[in-house]
Amino acid sequence: MKQNLTFFFFFFFAASSTWAQNPKALTDAQRYFSIKNYEQALPLYLEAINSGVKDPIVFHQAGICYQKSDDVNQQVKAIPFFENALKESCI
């Protein structure tokens, strides 16, 4: 139970600091991502990342959007996003 509560607070604070930087793009990206519309979510995640968002969750979800593509060349683009998610989560 304590782990769940800790995770919730971590996620809440990470998400709130990220959304404060680009709330519209991230809110829309999360909405598309939640309904598995990765093609629509990806450009919004990229917009947030290009505007300076460093949240590991955003990098991870952008990587998933690339990974879910039918094109192998697009799938390969997920790797640096997963690497950045790991790097940012360790800081």
Distance, CA of 74 to CA of 68 (rounded, Å): 9
pLDDT computed for residue 87 by the predictor: 92
Residue 77 lies in a domain: yes
Residue 82 lies in a domain: yes
pLDDT class of 89 with cuts at 50, 70, 90: confident
Nearest C-alpha neighbor of 30 from the set 41, 15, 18, 19: 41
Residue 26 lies in a domain: yes
Residue 3 lies in a domain: no
Locus of tokens 């940012």:
88
Residue 63 lies in a domain: yes
pLDDT computed for residue 8 by the predictor: 43
Residue 61 lies in a domain: yes
Quick check: 20 pLDDT over 90? no
If one counts the domains in the chain, the total is 1
What range does the domain containing 59 cover?
22-89
Q: Helices marked H in the chain — which ranges?
A: 2-21, 23-34, 38-50, 56-67, 72-76, 78-89
CATH code, domain with 37 = 1.25.40.10
Q: In this predicted model, what pLDDT tens digit does every residue of 23-73 receive, in sequence order?
A: 789 999 999 999 999 999 999 999 999 999 999 999 999 999 999 999 999
